[in-house]
Amino acid sequence: MGGLFDLDKKNDQIKELEAIQNKEDFWLDINEATKINKKITTLKKELEEYQTLYNTVVDNLELINIVEEKDLIEINKELSTTADKIASLEVKTLLNGEWDDYSCYLEIHPGAGGTESCDWASMLLRMYERFCEKNNYTYEIIEEQKGEEAGIKSATLLISGEYAYGYFKREKGVHRLVRISPFDAGKRRHTSFASVSVTPQINQEVDLDIKESDLKIDVYHSSGAGGQSVNTSNSAVRITHLPTKTVVTCQNERSQLKNKEQALKLLKSKLYQKEIEKKEEKLNILKGTEANIDFGSQIRNYVLEPYKQVKDLRSGYVTSNAEKVLDGDILEIMKSLLKEGNYE
């Protein structure tokens, strides 16, 4: 069986990785060993899911020929459930990028428009938080800067779970909201923009030479909701990588040292992502094509007035249930993008 779910290829991958696993020096590089073990577990789980579904289909098809008509209803129900599981497994076969099974950083920044855009950014933040809560992903707020009147000026989440980067990477781009502004006394319709960037959490697998002399490190008071949650020490950390002008911040820990460690991890991931994008940009120039996504691109519209609609401009996915989407129901949009193609 070939195609999206090539059993022979996956079995060969397992054999190759297990051969490496059995070498005497396997555990000398703990990070690489952990990565290989994780890959073996994932491949075996996929094969097991396939075999279970295959057996269910075969067994039920055999039963259809011998059971009475009244029992066909139950068999059809089971086959329908199995069909849903097969569709889910099909999606997993599309999550085959190098970093798809890694955790990821998701950053949100409002566009021009002051309070309107800051509020829209906070709505996106809540959407992703609700998605995580509904789909067994965990998230940690690495950094969040409140807006002056409402919403947020920026936020960074660390999201962990099955194929976190694989699902979230296609959220990268500019998100557009059309609604009646709650901040406009004249109840006029406003358009707001916010950008989302997504980066895989790179730990020790990639060797990046980050010189201490290239870093500008600032410390400041963490922002918070007030009261007992306010951190009065300079524990928040902002790191600027001077050669690339890349800025990262972390303020979720009370320890300045821990915030610095987390910020450096985020910086490493972002710099590695920039290297990937540089290579892709050069390749696209050679091919005579443009990159699919840049900061100015608009990937999705969320319309609340004069009608309700959310439309992804890449896959063409459309739904009129905008409130449900903003409450975190974006899995089908993510799946539509996986099935349409690669939107790195």
Residues 275 and 303 in one domain: no
CATH number at residue 129: 3.30.70.1660
Whether 2 is covered by a domain: the verdict is no
Whether 292 is covered by a domain: the verdict is no
Q: How far is CA 257 from CA 212, 221, 236, 252, in A?
A: 16, 14, 9, 12
Higher-confidence residue of 226 and 35: namely: 35
Residues 87 and 158 in one domain: no
pLDDT band at residue 290 under the 50/70/90 scheme: very low
Measured from the Cβ of residue 231, the count of other Cβ atoms closer than 10 Å reads 14
- Residue 310, Cα to own-chain centre: how many angstroms? 19
pLDDT digits (tens, 9 = 90+) for 163-215: 899 999 999 999 999 999 888 888 888 899 999 999 888 765 566 778 888 88
CATH number at residue 62: 1.20.58.410
Q: Please determine, for residue 251, whether its predicted confidence score (pLDDT) is greater than 80.
A: yes
Q: What percent of the chain has pLDDT over 70?
A: 76
Could you say which of 41, 58, 93 is where a domain stops? 93
Residues 28 and 175 in one domain: no
Residues 241-263 as b or e (16 or more Cβ within 10 Å = b):
beeeeeebbbbbbeebeebbebb
* Residue 135 structure tokens: 């789909």
Domain count, the chain: 3
pLDDT for residue 134: 96
Residues 187 and 308 in one domain: yes
Q: Please determine, for residue 274, whether its predicted confidence score (pLDDT) is greater than 70.
A: yes
Q: Alpha helices of the chain — where are they, by DSSP H? A: 7-21, 30-64, 69-93, 115-134, 164-168, 256-287, 322-326, 331-340
Q: Please determine, for residue 227, whether its predicted confidence score (pLDDT) is greater than 60.
A: no
Residues 304 and 190 in one domain: yes
Q: Residue 249 sits in which domain range?
A: 212-287
Whether 204 is covered by a domain: the verdict is no
The Cα 231–Cα 270 span in angstroms is 27
- Pair 155, 107: CB distance under 8 Å: yes
Whether 323 is covered by a domain: the verdict is yes
pLDDT for residue 281: 67
Could you say which of 39, 62, 93 is where a domain stops? 93
Whether 207 is covered by a domain: the verdict is no
Whether 205 is covered by a domain: the verdict is no
Whether 30 is covered by a domain: the verdict is yes
Residues 192 and 312 in one domain: yes
CATH number at residue 242: 3.30.160.20
Residues 227 and 273 in one domain: yes
* Residue 8 structure tokens: 């022979």
Higher-confidence residue of 51 and 88: namely: 51
**Which residues, other chains included, contact 213 with Cβ-Cβ below 8 Å and sequence gap of 6+?**
none
Whether 203 is covered by a domain: the verdict is no
